[in-house]
Amino acid sequence: MTPESPSDLVTRLWVIPLVPPSLNEWQSMHWGPRAQLKNRWYELIWALQHQRDTKLPECDWVSMSADIVFKTKAHRDVTNYAATFWKIVPDALQHVGVIRDDTEEQLHMGAIRFKYEKPPMPNMKGTTRIAITGAPTLRLMALDG
């Protein structure tokens, strides 16, 4: 059985109680608030990575797709949100040890879709649902003897 056989893959669905900023918002932010926002995403992903039912092992590669869920159907450019999603989330996965690097060999980028639903709390802009499938890194144990 190879590491990429379907029975060896691990899949998780992570729900982040934020939407990524649009590229326009991201580029116009002062570096301080931008760093705070990125750190907030890192903290939320770190928390998911440290829960038993949402933890991912270290992976040779991951494949991701996401639904960015807004509360209104206002006109939005999907590429503006995808750009910041694909910057923030892979960096966070590397930061928490799921992948060693966000190279094309280790990160397979899937679809980013917009959905529209009432958020669970009225003051929320929306949520991001991330589907992640990964091939766990195989570790060979040295035999003493």
Domain ranges of the chain: 10-136
Looking at residue 119, its pLDDT comes to: 72
Looking at residue 66, its pLDDT comes to: 97
The closest of 41, 19, 6 to 116, measured between CA atoms, is: 19
Q: Partners of 115 in the beta sheet?
A: 69
SS3 assignment, position 45: helix
Looking at residue 2, its pLDDT comes to: 45
Residue 102 tokens, joined = 């966000």
Cβ proximity of 50 and 95 under 8 Å: no
For the chain, how many helices (H) and strands (E)?
3, 4
- What pTM, to 2 d.p., does this model score? 0.85
Looking at residue 124, its pLDDT comes to: 79
Highest CATH level, class, for 10-136 = alpha beta
Q: What is the mean pLDDT of each run of 10 residues along the chain (145 residues)?
A: 66 94 95 95 95 93 96 92 95 95 93 88 86 86 53
Cβ proximity of 97 and 58 under 8 Å: yes
